[in-house]
Amino acid sequence: MTAPRWTTTEADLDVTEPYDVGWMTWFLAGHAVPGMETMVDGTYRRSLRLPHGPAVVSCRLDRHPRRGTSGGRTVLRVVVRTADDRNVPDALDRMRLLYGVDVDSADADAVLAADPALAPSVAQAPGIRVPGSVDPSETLLRTMIGQQISLGAAATHTARLVAALGDPVGDDEGAAEHGIVHLFPTPAAVADSGASVLTGPTRRITAIAETARRLADGDVELHRGRPAPQQEADLLALRGVGPWTARYVSMRVQGDPDVLLDTDLVVRQGAALLGVDLRESGRWSPWRSSASMHLWRVALLDRGAYPVATA
């Protein structure tokens, strides 16, 4: 039987303004997992496991001229490759969530800029976004893999898991161009074989495998429609999931705009640089997730780990 032919669909998604392209580009590049994700010259590519089979998406944030004005508009240009066109709407929706294109950034900026400590960062990076999630189970497992290790180490550990347990994408014709060859493993695959692939403390590996099993069996309900407090409580009941992980996953999966990652080392460093007391964050509500991104950015700039040119 002849394999279905892969086709390409292009779409431009309008982005609410303002939008800080630099932060999202840095974040996705920093977390990219070889084999399933790349960021090359501002174009992000990744594989997706969708209801009608796999897809490979390419995304790029661009400025387009606005007719009749001297300004422009930001659009997210998405290219979807798949063997089944029924996947295209779902792929576009997932990229819309990942890039946060519909977030009301102007309201967030107005609240955060009213704080003199955060105002300079808001002026430098208006419209900073919290990256969303394309797959809640993947987000949780990747977050657990990356706990207490560097971004580079997390990418290495995850890439090993993807290469060993991820299903092939199957886009043989397109792979030479986009370089995406595997899907993120299913929770069942991680539950069955993750312990033989992952390295590190036994307790951490066991926790990841147990969480994957509960995801595979449907014992953990993880989706955008759940109330964030209820989901966080369920996550905290899992072995190896602490408050930081539960809140980070809530921030990305639920799109919760009011999560302050006050136990995060980099966030705390950013707060210290600005002389901010994280115990007094009520003035940033309901946009404390965006405040967390600004504090991360401030700390990374201070370390020289964030490219000033894209800030």
- Model confidence over 218-252: pLDDT tens digits? 999 898 888 888 999 999 999 999 999 999 999 99
Whether residues 121 and 15 fall in one domain: no
Q: Which tokens hold the place of 241?
A: 């999931």
Residue 1 lies in a domain: no
One domain for residues 50 and 125: no
- Dihedral sign for Cα atoms in the order 214, 220, 222, 228: negative
Report the pLDDT value the prediction gives residue 252, as an integer from 0 to 100: 96
User: Does residue 95 lie within any of the structural domains?
Assistant: yes
Selection from 221, 215, 154, 218 nearest residue 190 by Cα: 215
Among 100, 120, 147, the domain-final residue is: 100
Q: Same domain, yes or no, for 90 and 115?
A: no
Report residue 234 as tokens. 């369920």
What pLDDT, on the 0 to 100 scale, is given for residue 113? 98
Q: Let me know if residue 239 belongs to a domain.
A: yes
**181 plus 288 within the same structural domain:** no
Tell me, yes or no, whether 260 and 298 share the same domain. Answer: yes
Q: What is the DSSP letter of 117?
A: T
Q: Does residue 64 register a pLDDT over 80? A: no
Using the predicted structure, report yes or no on whether residue 311 has a pLDDT greater than 50.
no
Element (H, E) at 193: helix 187-197
Number of domains in the chain: 3
- Whether 292 maps to a domain, the answer reads yes
pLDDT band at 108 (very low <50, low <70, confident <90, very high): very high
CA dist 275 and 269 (Å) reads 10
* pLDDT of amino acid 68: 53
Residue 66 has pLDDT above 80, yes or no: no
Structure tokens at 186: 């299913």
pLDDT band, residue 70 (cuts 50/70/90):
low
In a shared domain, residues 170 and 235? yes
pLDDT tens-digit map of 172-188: 888 888 999 999 999 99
pLDDT in tens, 86-104: 999 999 999 999 999 999 8
The answer as to whether 155 is a domain residue is yes
In a domain, 72, yes or no: yes
Nearest CA among 86, 34, 32 for reference residue 55: 86
pLDDT band at 4, cuts 50/70/90? confident
Q: Comparing C-alpha atoms, which of 176, 172, 178, 146 is closest to residue 161? A: 146
- Which CATH number goes with the domain that contains 151? 1.10.340.30
Q: pLDDT by residue (tens digit) across 263-290?
A: 999 999 999 999 999 999 999 999 999 9
Q: How confident is the model at residue 310 (pLDDT cuts 50, 70, 90)?
A: very low
Task: State yes or no: pLDDT of 308 exceeds 50.
Answer: yes
Mean pLDDT of 194-211: 95
The pair of structure tokens assigned to 97 is 């969530």
C-alpha span between 76 and 91 (Å, rounded): 13
CATH of the domain at 277: 1.10.1670.40
In a domain, 145, yes or no: yes
Query: 154 and 298 share a domain?
Result: no
* Spatial distance between the Cα atoms of 142 and 162, rounded to a whole number of angstroms: 11
3 state DSSP class of 59:
strand
Quick one: pLDDT at residue 73?
83
What number is the average pLDDT over the span 139-147? 96
Q: Find the radius of gyration of the CA atoms of the chain.
A: 19
Phi-psi region of 179 (alpha: psi -120 to 50; beta: other; left: phi over 0): left
Q: Is the pLDDT of residue 169 over 50?
A: yes
Single pTM value for the model: 0.94
pLDDT at 1 over 60: no
- Judgement on whether residues 165 and 236 belong to the same structural domain of the protein: yes
Q: Give backbone dihedrals phi and psi of 134, rounded to 5 degrees, phi first.
A: -95, -15
Q: Is residue 2 domain-resident?
A: no
Of 252, 270, 291, which residue sits at a domain end? 252
Which H or E run includes 204? helix 202-216
pLDDT higher at 67 or 244: 244
CATH number at residue 78: 3.30.310.20
Which domain does 183 fall in, by range?
136-252
In a shared domain, residues 285 and 185: no
- Does 274 lie in the same domain as 209? no
Model confidence at 63, in pLDDT bands (50, 70, 90)? confident
Is there a contact between 289 and 259 (Cβ–Cβ < 8 Å)? yes
Q: Which pLDDT score is estimated for 177?
A: 87
User: Are 34 and 71 part of one and the same domain?
Assistant: yes
pLDDT of 309 = 46
The rounded mean pLDDT for the chain is 93
b/e per residue 32-67 (b: at least 16 CB within 10 A): bbbbbbbbeeeebbbbbbbeebbbbbbbbbeeeeee
For residue 202, give Cα distances in angstroms to 197, 198, 199, 210.
12, 9, 8, 12
Nearest to 9 by CA among 78, 110, 109: 78
Q: Which amino acid is at 258?
A: D
Instruction: Please tell me whether residues 207 and 160 are part of one structural domain.
Output: yes
Is residue 67 predicted with pLDDT exceeding 70? no
Final residue of a structural domain among 209, 234, 252: 252
Residue 39: strand pairing partners: 44
